[in-house]
Structure 1
Amino acid sequence: MADNSHNKADYQSIDVASSPDRVSFAKPCTSVDPTTQPEELQQQGTTVTDMFIENASSDKSETNQDDTDMKSFLTPDQTVVDLNHCRIQRIEGCEILENVESLGLRNNLIKKLENLERLTSLRELELYDNQITKIENLDSLVNLEILDLSFNRITQIENLNNLVNLKKLYLINNRISKIENLDNLVNLETLELGSNKIRVIENLDCLKNLHSLFLGKNKITRLQNLDKLENLKLFSIQSNRLTKIEGLDELKNLEEIYVSHNGIEKIENLTNNINLQNLDISNNRIERLENIGHLINLLELWANDNKISSWKDLEILKNFPKLETVYFERNPIANDPMYRKKIVLLAPHLKQIDALLCKN
């Protein structure tokens, strides 16, 4: 299964129009490419997909249900299994998957994590959009690198201590109220906790290798306890309850920060973040474009939907030789009939202003 990148235009757990997040598309119920199917099935031109279609179209009186038996699609030599959107209710039959490295069970009806203990070669496990209420029974998956339990009913981060090789953890849109029990995940690079009920940033000190942290659409009121994340490059915390930019002094490797849809009134405390390339401060209460003149590596500046009214403030754009994209729409300055022309005069190297490309 391909890893999904986080781009500003992609789906996000925060705000579809203005912040980055993980994209997850439901795929048909499939498995492995045909070359990994049993030889007799290859000769017959049959794949797991064919088997699913045949089973699904058979007389339902034989099973008395519309839901799918997972075991009927599994064979011992599979390394990649995708059983997405198949109405599977229970994880079962996995004991034969001795070589499986990637298991996809998105968009099903699974309520419990179980019967996975034999999958010691598993590197990627995706259970996006099910009905799981608890993280459990993963202790033997010591080689797991990617775990996606987004869009479930999980209330607590727990039982992950053995997953020391985990690099990416996705828990978007659950019912989690506290960041906890992550101390053993020392190799974690991406942590996605968007769309939960988190109020405080805490318990992240051990995540020295974390590159990307997503906390959008929670109930966080303050930027704090981030000092130890010295390798963090991307920090997304849109749609929270922030009123101030603070607590970022030690994040000297930060390249992207997304703080849109908060209650921030002033741009400040970015003195040490000289490697910033993307700065998203849109949809706040900011009146002045200030305290960013030192950010000479900026590529994108999103400041739309604020209260910026002074053209003198925009002269700061001259400081950014690498700047390619700016958004200032729905600010008072955007009401000026010469709005676009004035911006081009200030920054002739721009490639895009708001949603429109600049003419060369």
Structure 2
Amino acid sequence: MEDENGAQEAAGGGERELDLSNSHLHDLEDVPIAGTLTALDLTTNRLKDIDSRILALTGLTSLCFRQNLLPDASVVAEFQSKGVLEDLELRDNQLKQLPDLTGFHKLRRLEVSYNQLRSISGLLSLGTSNPLEELYVAANKITKIEGLEDLVQIRILELGSNRVAKIEGLETLQSLEQLWLGRNRISTVENVGHLTNLRQLSLQSNRLECMRGFEECVGLEEVYLSHNGISRLEGLGTLTRLKVLDVSSNRLEKIEGLDSLGQLEDLWLNDNSIDSWEGIYESLQGPRQSLTTLYLHNNKVAADPMYRRKCMEILPNLGQLDANYTRRT
């Protein structure tokens, strides 16, 4: 026996989902667009505008316009479904500014990475009490973190591969769990101490010379700081929940500051300047039992003929050393 929704759909012949991804479409002129659609996927086509029939849909909850040729998305403000749309993806187009999002009261996920945006201040149009939880704005031309003060429910913020020089504008984001700021121009870790729910922090490929600044983010489980200019491991004493620490491709000369990391599982130290075993055993006592993955290649210490054996002696539960799995007899 059909449930009520199923009976209504069958009676009306209404289509709920339409997947037109990878269809090489230049327009939708010959494509039927059912007025009953709730999900539409237009990934990887050659579309330069949004068909007026899409604007007229009233029950659309998910729209993916990924990898097309949109130069402008201002017509999004005319969506008849703005009151119910939950997922909007405009990734990999040619957008130079965000559309007006006034009235999008149920939007939970917004993806606008790989465009030509210079500002995200337009996010203020979402208004207060919006439910946005995920925001992706990677690989644009953003220079300043702004317009986020009303996004109090946001959990994931992706701003990697932009031109951001300062961490700011996050004061109200108490629910933030993931912060991705890799490949920017940040030289100081600052203004994140209030983010006590933060689980993942990525600042790889920036301009950091010091890793202090996130000591109060005691919920951190993963920290990524590779490809910076960090010369010392520090500021880790309070991060007792840390499971992954990536400080590869920096300027470290020794291993230290890991005493309290009793849950650390993955430690990436490759491509640094660690040239001696002196102090390594003592420094790894904190995570000695928990560490299962260690990367140390491209340090002078890794040239030791006894390198593999010594690492396994220090870390009894090591399962992977560099790119190789270890075997114990």
Tell me the TM-score normalized by structure 1.
0.81
Is 1:319 aligned to residue 279 of structure 2? no
Equivalent residues in 2 for 1:58-69, closer than 5 Å: 67-69=26-28
Contact persistence 1:214–1:236 (CA under 8 A): yes
Is 1:350 aligned to residue 309 of structure 2? no
Map of 1:181 onto structure 2: 147
Name structure 1 gaps, 5 residues minimum: 1-35, 57-65
**Of 133, 155, 170, the match for 2:96:** 133
Cα distance in 1 for partners of 2:157, 2:296 equals 30
Map of 1:106 onto structure 2: 66
Map of 2:123 onto structure 1: 160
Q: CA deviation at 1:49?
A: 5.9
Map of 2:304 onto structure 1: 336
Cα distance in 2 for partners of 1:149, 1:326 equals 35
Contact persistence 1:135–1:157 (CA under 8 A): yes
234-243 or 76-85, larger mean C-alpha shift: 76-85
Contact persistence 2:258–2:286 (CA under 8 A): no
Cα distance in 1 for partners of 2:308, 2:323 equals 12
Equivalent residues in 2 for 1:1-360, closer than 5 Å: 67-69=26-28, 72-92=31-51, 93-116=53-76, 117-119=79-81, 120-161=83-124, 162=126, 164-315=130-281, 316-320=283-287, 321-360=289-328
Q: CA deviation at 1:38?
A: 9.8
96-105 or 166-175, larger mean C-alpha shift: 96-105
Q: Deviations over 1:102-152 (max 9, x none)?
A: 110111011112333322211111111000000122112110111000000
Cα distance in 1 for partners of 2:18, 2:279 equals 61
Write the letter of the residue equivalent to 2:286.
N
Q: CA deviation at 1:40?
A: 6.1
Write the letter of the residue equivalent to 1:259.
L
Map of 2:4 onto structure 1: none
Cα distance in 2 for partners of 1:330, 1:302 equals 11
Change (3 A) 1:95 1:37: farther
Q: CA deviation at 1:319?
A: 2.6
Q: CA deviation at 1:318?
A: 3.3
Q: Deviations over 1:158-210 (max 9, x none)?
A: 22232621000000100000000100000000000000000011111110000
Cα distance in 2 for partners of 1:38, 1:247 equals 60
Write the letter of the residue equivalent to 1:118.
Q
Contact persistence 1:52–1:73 (CA under 8 A): no
Contact persistence 1:71–1:94 (CA under 8 A): no
Contact persistence 2:239–2:260 (CA under 8 A): no
Contact persistence 2:85–2:104 (CA under 8 A): yes
Contact persistence 1:94–1:115 (CA under 8 A): no
Tell me the TM-score normalized by structure 2.
0.89
Q: Deviations over 1:281-313 (max 9, x none)?
A: 000000010011111110110000001122133
Write the letter of the residue equivalent to 1:94.
I
2:228 aligns to what SS in structure 1? coil
Q: Deviations over 1:309-351 (max 9, x none)?
A: 2213321333321111010000011000111111001112111
Write the letter of the residue equivalent to 2:88.
L
1:319 aligns to what SS in structure 2? coil
Task: Report sequence identity in percent.
Answer: 35
**How many aligned residue pairs are there?**
311
Q: CA deviation at 1:48?
A: 5.3
Write the letter of the residue equivalent to 2:250.
N
Q: CA deviation at 1:67?
A: 2.2
Cα distance in 2 for partners of 1:175, 1:71 equals 36
Name structure 2 gaps, 5 residues minimum: 1-8
Contact persistence 1:208–1:230 (CA under 8 A): yes
Name the Cα RMSD after superposition: 2.4
Write the letter of the residue equivalent to 1:127.
L
Contact persistence 1:74–1:97 (CA under 8 A): no
